[in-house]
Structure 1
Amino acid sequence: MFFKNFLFHMGRYTMMLGTSFSRPEKSYMYYKETMRQMNDIGIGSLVIVGLISIFIGAVTAVQFLYQLDGTLVPVYYIGYIIRDSTIIELAPTITCLVLAGKVGSNMAAEIGGMRQKEHIDAMEIMGVNTAAYLIMPKVIAALVVIPMLVAIAAFVSVIGGYLAAVPTGLMSDAEYIQGVRAFFEPFNVIMMFVKALVFAFLLTTISCYQGYYVRGGSIELGQASTNAVVFSDIMILLADYIIAVLLTG
């Protein structure tokens, strides 16, 4: 039964993607909606991403300073550890998990509400490709904005580590900067953006899928929003592992 449901949803999800990325009839309509989605995803999520990133960097600095206390590892390694752990893993993964809860649930609720109020049915009667009009702008906006948010999160996390380690006297300014600049690998930044793009695609398409095919009333809409977050988080973590194996194996 599980395997049958899995194949059913995978097939319907794939068909939805094929319909969503068909050629638009009126490009200006999609452009306006894409700009609106970019504003909602980017500006609407900037504050929470910044706050979470500061504390990620701060907690990482404090924890690793505690672990390295009394060892022979140089103190400046803290800056190096914060930089690489943030770029490779924490910034893309944590940011997209948070966005799945904030942005993904909103997308599922928005599209699901339109489905329940028969707005989508009315648009289809008018000849509008509703999957393309409702989903493609969200995906494009996410693919543009979320990597920017991830880059901001990585930068802010390094600042958070600095604020936790240097003003408190745990290490000097020169030591932290030396660690941040040491052993830098540009490939790590490429990996960060690859993860950001894959995660952005997954969380938007899964959330839109849950909302687009919702049936029933308010209870079912709430379940669809919850499923959007749960399945997006699961697929993000699975994709995180696969990308790590492929790019570092």
Structure 2
Amino acid sequence: MLGQIRELGRIGILLGRIIGSLTLRRGQLQDIIIQCYTVGARSLPIVAVGGLFVGLVVSLQGYRALEVIGASSALGTAIGIPLYRELGPVLAAILFCGRAGSSMAAELGLMKATDQITALSMMAIDPVGKVVAPRFIAGVISLPLLTAVFCAFAILGAYFQAVFALGIDSGFFWSALQGSVDFADDFGQCFTKAAAFGFATTLIAVHVGYSAEPTIEGTSIATTRSVVMGSLMVLFLDFVLGATLY
């Protein structure tokens, strides 16, 4: 317990240093844009493909469940509500942890192992403002956008599965989806969760990478911890936010 409390304290100190180092000058803005491309744009393929297959699977299983009670025409409702409230933000965040979170932790760990962070300090450059803050801001910005892409491809996959494979009328599918999904409740909950997941998972990734032991083994441990801790934090926050927002 004492170790976990100390870990939370170090995370809080790092977050304070990140906020204090945000100057948003030209150099830092360039670093943020570069990191948005690295952790955001490069994560688009896995998020899009993941969303497409989730939509295909959810559509197939939802149709089988609804067919039992003779309500297969309500498939759009059965897909839209769980996708935007739960599946979209949670699965996008877990994919983000595996792709971008591990990358950030590995990069920062290697910087420590090769004394690059020490060199920045010796040149009177704040390493938190130079290498940690841009990654943190980029992760917070990128995950809600990736969640939107995930949901869009999931709906697209569900549509093709429902209409062209299962034979559901296209009008029934879209009308059920539009009639059941509310902008404030469903979209609001989706992007509230995505913003919270982006904040938490990115903070964990940069913390374990920045505090890793300056060895190759320490870098590998930090990479593993970023994925495990980030994924567990996503599931924990999903429960807390779901209970609160409902």
**TM-score when normalising by structure 2:** 0.95
How far the C-alpha of 1:216 sits from its partner, in A, is 4.2
Alpha carbons 2:47, 2:146 under 8 Å: kept? yes
Amino acid at match of 1:116: A
Distance 1:68 1:131, change over 3 A: same
Matched, 1:150 2:147: yes
RMSD of aligned residue pairs (Cα, Å): 1.4
The aligned residue for residue 106 of structure 1 is 103
Q: Distance in 1 between matches of 2:28 and 2:2?
A: 35
Q: Distance in 2 between matches of 1:25 and 1:77?
A: 51
The aligned residue for residue 244 of structure 1 is 242
Amino acid at match of 2:222: A
Further displaced range: 192-201 or 26-35: 26-35
Distance 1:26 1:50, change over 3 A: closer
How far the C-alpha of 1:26 sits from its partner, in A, is 7.3
Q: Say which of 80, 84, 96 aligns to 1:83.
A: 80
Q: Distance in 1 between matches of 2:86 and 2:48?
A: 16
- Tell me the secondary structure at the aligned position of residue 170 of structure 1: coil
Amino acid at match of 1:79: G
Q: Distance in 1 between matches of 2:138 and 2:78?
A: 32
The aligned residue for residue 163 of structure 1 is 160
**TM-score when normalising by structure 1:** 0.94
Q: Distance in 2 between matches of 1:239 and 1:202?
A: 9
Q: Deviations over 1:86-142 (max 9, x none)?
A: 111111100110110110110001011111111111111222221122221112212
The aligned residue for residue 43 of structure 1 is 41
Alpha carbons 1:61, 1:78 under 8 Å: kept? yes
The aligned residue for residue 173 of structure 1 is 170
Number of equivalenced pairs: 245
Q: Say which of 225, 230, 233 aligns to 2:231.
A: 233
Unaligned runs of 5+ in 2: none
How far the C-alpha of 1:183 sits from its partner, in A, is 2.5
Unaligned runs of 5+ in 1: none
The aligned residue for residue 192 of structure 1 is 190
* Richer in helix (by share): 2
Alpha carbons 1:76, 1:178 under 8 Å: kept? no
How far the C-alpha of 1:24 sits from its partner, in A, is 4.2
